[in-house]
């Protein structure tokens, strides 16, 4: 009886110790170390299928405000955690699918998706990771990696690590029919225009916009009116009937309200934005010559004749990540 009691006590103590280690490793419940699933490719970055570029509006979690924004010079140190089983194969904040066995991460404020370089300061290991989710929101942590990313950086069993996180550049997006496949970890080069981050999007290019040629009207030279001409029958006699006036030609506006998503010095960046906004409306590129000789490429969408509808379109464009979108009045 006593031996049985001692054995039960020892087992209970072991359970308490294991639970204590799990809680110390992560403030959220420790994910189960699930086996590799057949639909996952271990160690690769998600392709971005189903996702979209997103900066997002300020939001509040547990009384703390977070302000997502573009920050190409982001370089921070702090504590990293990891997450896995509880979120496996569920949508991320920008519509991708989280795979705990792929290399990805969550960050509270960086644009989605982005590529960052994470260095484990405890062991010197470095890894480039795709950020496609929001978090973490516990204890001032700077990043939350997938289980696979934490494993490659050598802290999946420990639960937490001291890390440095540096922004590398925007991550590519996959097409809607890409499926759950995975691409390599190599990050594309950052794209900037006029100091602003340009989200990447890849699809078939649209035809280049060609502005209409200006209409040239030549002045006609009329012969002078002489007394002989007045006396002749070329001038009809004055009638007492009420005069008939020709109506003035109607002035047709070249456009109604429009929404400008942005202006870019690189036409290829403007084309990416046109592709990105293909589901928001018909976007076109308008070249604009600046006084200093630089050509900017504006991306604009037709907003119709109603100003309220135009502002509604502007808000829709902003929801795609173009917070500086503005309404252009008719000209």
CB contact at 8 A, 95 and 118: no
Q: What is the pLDDT of residues 9-60, one digit of tens each?
A: 444 444 444 344 333 333 333 333 333 333 444 578 888 888 889 898 888 8
DSSP-assigned letter for residue 87 = G
Separation CA 267–CA 273 (nearest Å): 10
User: Do both 185 and 324 map to the same domain?
Assistant: no
- The gap from C-alpha 3 to its chain's centroid, in whole angstroms, comes to 64
HSE, side-chain direction, 13 A CA sphere, residue 137 = 12
With respect to residue 240, please indicate whether it lies within any of the assigned structural domains.
Answer: no
User: Do both 73 and 165 map to the same domain?
Assistant: yes
Least confident of 77-86, 267-276, 312-321: 312-321
Residue 157 has pLDDT above 50, yes or no: yes
With respect to residue 133, please indicate whether it lies within any of the assigned structural domains.
Answer: yes
Dihedral sign, Cα of residue 94, residue 47, residue 149, residue 74: negative
Residue 177 has pLDDT above 90, yes or no: no
pLDDT of residue 59: 86
User: Do both 182 and 270 map to the same domain?
Assistant: no
Higher pLDDT, 291 or 77: 77
User: Do both 48 and 173 map to the same domain?
Assistant: yes
pLDDT of residue 255: 52
With respect to residue 157, please indicate whether it lies within any of the assigned structural domains.
Answer: yes
CATH (domain of 154)? 2.40.40.10
Mean pLDDT of the chain: 73
How deeply is 195 buried, as exposed, middle or buried, from its count of CB atoms within 10 A (0-12, 13-18, 19+)?
A: exposed
Q: Out of 162, 189, 216, pick the residue that ends a domain.
A: 189
pLDDT of residue 147: 95
User: Do both 315 and 169 map to the same domain?
Assistant: no
With respect to residue 278, please indicate whether it lies within any of the assigned structural domains.
Answer: yes
With respect to residue 59, please indicate whether it lies within any of the assigned structural domains.
Answer: yes
pLDDT of residue 175: 57
pLDDT of residue 256: 77
Q: Which residues contact 190 (CB under 8 A, 6 or more apart)?
A: 72, 168, 169, 170, 197
The share of the chain scoring above pLDDT 90, in percent, equals 30
User: Do both 40 and 137 map to the same domain?
Assistant: yes
Separation CA 231–CA 250 (nearest Å): 36
With respect to residue 138, please indicate whether it lies within any of the assigned structural domains.
Answer: yes
Q: What is the pLDDT of residues 115-152, one digit of tens each?
A: 999 999 999 999 999 999 999 988 889 999 999 999 99
Higher pLDDT, 122 or 3: 122
With respect to residue 8, please indicate whether it lies within any of the assigned structural domains.
Answer: no
User: Do both 40 and 173 map to the same domain?
Assistant: yes
User: Do both 180 and 274 map to the same domain?
Assistant: no
Q: What is the pLDDT of residues 240-263, one digit of tens each?
A: 555 554 444 433 344 578 889 888
Work out how many domains the chain is built from and give that number.
Answer: 2
Determine the structural domain holding residue 314 and report its residue range: 257-328
CATH (domain of 303)? 3.30.70.1070
User: Do both 181 and 265 map to the same domain?
Assistant: no
User: Do both 264 and 184 map to the same domain?
Assistant: no
Residue 106 has pLDDT above 90, yes or no: yes
């Amino acid at each position: 009886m006593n031996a049985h009691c001692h054995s039960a006590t020892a087992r209970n103590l072991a359970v308490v110790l294991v639970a204590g280690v799990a809680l110390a490793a992560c403030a959220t419940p420790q994910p189960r170390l699930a086996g590799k699933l057949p639909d996952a490719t271990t160690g690769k970055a998600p392709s971005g299928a189903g996702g979209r570029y997103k900066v997002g509006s300020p939001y509040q979690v547990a009384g703390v405000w977070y302000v997502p924004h573009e920050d190409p010079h982001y370089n921070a140190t702090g504590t990293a955690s990891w997450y896995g089983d509880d979120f496996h194969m569920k949508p991320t904040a920008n519509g991708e699918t989280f795979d705990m066995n792929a290399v990805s991460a969550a960050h509270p404020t960086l644009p989605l998706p982005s590529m960052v370089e994470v260095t484990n300061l405890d062991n010197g290991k470095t890894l480039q990771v795709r950020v496609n989710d929001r978090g973490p929101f516990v204890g001032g942590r700077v990043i939350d990696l997938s289980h696979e990313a934490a494993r490659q950086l050598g802290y999946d069993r420990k639960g937490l690590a001291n890390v440095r996180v540096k922004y590398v550049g925007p991550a590519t997006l996959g097409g809607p029919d890409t499926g759950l496949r995975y691409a390599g970890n190599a990050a594309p080069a950052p794209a900037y225009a006029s100091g602003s981050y340009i989200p990447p999007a890849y699809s078939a290019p649209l035809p280049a916009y060609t502005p209409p040629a200006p209409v040239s009207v030549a002045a006609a030279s009329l012969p002078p009116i002489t007394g002989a001409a007045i006396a002749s029958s070329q001038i009809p006699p004055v009638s007492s009937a009420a005069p008939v006036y020709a109506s003035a030609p109607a002035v047709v506006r070249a456009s109604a309200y429009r929404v400008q998503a942005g202006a870019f010095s690189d036409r290829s960046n403007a084309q990416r934005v046109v592709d990105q906004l293909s589901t928001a409306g018909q976007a076109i590129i308008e070249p604009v010559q600046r006084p200093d000789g630089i050509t900017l490429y504006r991306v604009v969408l037709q907003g119709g004749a109603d100003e309220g509808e135009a502002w509604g379109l502007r808000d829709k464009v902003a929801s795609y990540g173009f917070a500086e979108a503005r309404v252009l009045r008719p000209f």
